[in-house]
Chain A
Amino acid sequence: MLRRPAPDENDVELIFLAAVLGGAMVLFIGMHLPFLMPHCAFRTVTGIPCLTCGSTHSLQALLQRNWLMAIRWNPLCVLTIAAIIMGAIYAVITLVFRLPRIRIINMNAREILLMRLVVVILIAIDWVYVIITQSRLR
């Protein structure tokens, strides 16, 4: 539903936008200092890629506008970044034009459970994909 935030309510959109900005800056620094980027300890120990493996390569491919390669490295990473960018665009529009905000309300326990299940299934599918494809891509 759409509503205007209360005078003393947290401005969720503004805080989200600021967090995206801060996070992007940290990522930018990390990508320019490769030895600061996390090295996959899970892969080192088990030999199996973790579910976030390929995210750095995926990001680098995205920055080079190589969309297909970005999806091939880690599809969920691309999906997450797309969702964050869409969220940021929505936040900018609502803040600049002072529009009413979207708020999800009245979700019952079943709907919440369904939402969580979808997220878990998406992560599981992505992990299986990463395990199958990473050995071929590296």
Chain B
Amino acid sequence: MSKIFLNRSRQSLGQFTPEAVSEGLKSGKFLPTDLAWRDGMESWQPLSSLTDLPLAEEEAELPPLPEETEVKVISDEMLIEPAWERRSEIGVFSALAETIKQIFANPSATFAHMKRDGGYWGPLSFLLLVGIPSYIFAVVCITVAQMSILAGSGESQVILRKIYPDKGSIIHMMLTNMLLSPLTITATAFIGAAVIHLFLMISGGARESLKTTFRIYCYVNGAACVLQFIPLCGMYIYFIGAFILLCIALRVTHGTDSWRAVFAVVVPVIFAGIIFMLLFLPLVSTLMPH
């Protein structure tokens, strides 16, 4: 008999043999309300509707635990929520690494268990801790690239020469960017979250508060910032990574559908792109050599 796919609260539980499903139902691992699908079925159905599952074997009698054993209860939610929420217990660097891993490995489960009402500082500190080094790295890469363009020849060199008359002005800009990075990242987080939340409200998908959207924005961008360390195309990969993770996180956390989440991310990005083009392309054309 083919394997059965199970799904609960917007996340896949995996695929199991009918025997394992039957055992899981008996032990409480699976719920009758979990959605199930297997080859040949038209659509997902509650597990309780599968009537042809084999009977579970009798549970083996387990030996009793020693009386002096101390059992520490850790709930599933504690293990799945972003580890950054437990940084005081597991340490800042472990929590940082674990959170990045969680967000990339299983974004749906991580954001499904993220606290909706926490403070602003927790997620923002995560974003700043990862964001500042990656921002500085990106600024240094851009500076190196601009230096090499200035040293060469061609159209780009002529344009850059008009913006930065000498290498000193490029370095001055780099240092200013580095010093302002905490402020830039913080301001971008608040503005970005507010814009996304606004579009989520327009699409009718905002089921949680702006604070929740802000928390999502910080965790997603904090994790995706790591991608900026990839040489050359890091910024592009960061953009795509953050884009995809934001869509997933918004859908899961706000309990909305994919269309509304994608709308809330795509439309502001397209607007930002159009505004950028309208502002910068005329500027570039005035700088172009004739």
Contact = CB atoms under 8 A, between A and B. Distances in A.
Given A18-B265, A23-B239, A35-B156, A42 B232 contact: yes
B262 A18 contact: yes
B78 interface: no
A52 interface: yes
B251 interface: yes
Contacts of B202: none
A62 interface: no
Contacts of A32: 277, 281, 284
B244 A14 contact: no
Given A8-B10, A42-B231, A50-B232, A26 B273 contact: yes
A44 B148 contact: yes
B109 to A, nearest CB: 11
A119 B235 CA distance: 23
Nearest to A1: B39
A50 B141 CA distance: 16
A111 interface: no
14 contacts: A1-B39, A4-B43, A8-B7, A10-B248, A11-B258, A11-B259, A18-B265, A19-B240, A22-B265, A23-B240, A28-B273, A39-B149, A42-B232, A44-B148
Given A23-B236, A33-B284, 5 more contacts: A11-B257, A21-B270, A22-B266, A26-B273, A38-B141
B140 to A, nearest CB: 10
A40 B232 contact: yes
B146 interface: yes
Contacts of A114: none
A47 interface: no
Instruction: Give 8 closest A-B pairs by Cβ, nearest first.
Output: A11-B258, A8-B10, A39-B145, A6-B7, A18-B262, A38-B232, A25-B273, A34-B156
A35 B156 CA distance: 6
A4 B35 CA distance: 13
Given A7-B35, A9-B10, A39-B145, A19 B276 contact: no
B160 A35 contact: yes
Nearest to A3: B37
A18 B141 contact: no
A106 B16 CA distance: 11
For chain A, give the interface size range. Answer: 35 or more
A19 B42 CA distance: 29
A82 to B, nearest CB: 18
A92 to B, nearest CB: 14
Q: Which one of B15, B160, B262, B281 has the highest number of Cβ atoms from chain A below 10 Å of its Cβ?
A: B262
Contact of A7 (B39, B44, B231): B44
Nearest to B38: A3
Contacts of B232: 38, 40-42, 50, 52
A95 B254 CA distance: 22
B159 interface: yes
Contacts of A50: 232
A15 B260 CA distance: 11
Interface string B239-270: 11001100110010000011100100110011
A25 B246 CA distance: 17
B239 A6 contact: no
A15 B258 contact: yes
A8 B9 contact: yes
B280 interface: yes
A29 interface: yes
A97 B159 CA distance: 48
